[in-house]
Amino acid sequence: MQNDLKDDPDQDAAPSKTRRKQEMHALQDIGEQLVSLNSKRLAELNLPESLMDAITEAKRLHKHEARRRQMQFIGRLMREVDPTPIQDKFAAWNSVNLQHAAWFHLMERWRDRLMMSEQALTELGQNYPESDLQRLRTLVRNAHKEKLANKPPKSFRAIFHELQVIIPEAPNRVDTAT
């Protein structure tokens, strides 16, 4: 009889008080993220009306205690909502932002390489045959002159803009600009 109680799967089904509190805090954290979103992104989530009203109210509140109570209320409302689609949407938005940042870093690396060596211009032409190498060569030369004359980096910025046109922003890009 004792062994039957130890092997009973229903005995472990109820989470501990600590686990329940952790889950509630996690839902409240998701609520905090929801409050920080703009209205366009909130609309994409298709949240229940009661939750949307609570989020709108939280955005309006500025006093610490009132906002804290509202955030707890949002956490309570979040218990009735499946957080998985919300978390998936956050992950997708974060992924897009990371890809965009990676694209910018790629262009910065190309610009730095172009400023350091003439060979980089040849490599860029090989990787992106549609690029206007003569224009880039002129911009690099002008950027060096501007730097020596302590002038504003107009051509340096123009190189970046030219690279934005040449290098398309594509997801999961692998490029060898090092």
The domain limits of the chain are 16-81, 95-166
> What pLDDT score was predicted for residue 3?
52
pLDDT digits (tens, 9 = 90+) for 17-58: 888 888 888 888 888 888 888 888 888 888 889 989 999 999
Of the candidate CATH numbers 3.30.30.60, 3.40.50.1000, 1.10.60.30, 1.10.3720.10, the domain formed by 16-81 belongs to 1.10.60.30
Say whether 95-166 and 16-81 share the same fold: yes
With 80 as the cut, is the pLDDT of residue 9 above it? no
Tell me, yes or no, if the pTM score tops 0.75: no
- pLDDT 10s digits, 71-114: 889 888 888 888 888 888 888 888 888 888 888 899 999 999 99
Question: Which CATH architecture fits 95-166?
Answer: Orthogonal Bundle (1.10)
For residue 118, which of 145, 137, 99, 94 has the smallest C-alpha distance? 137
pLDDT(13) > 80: no
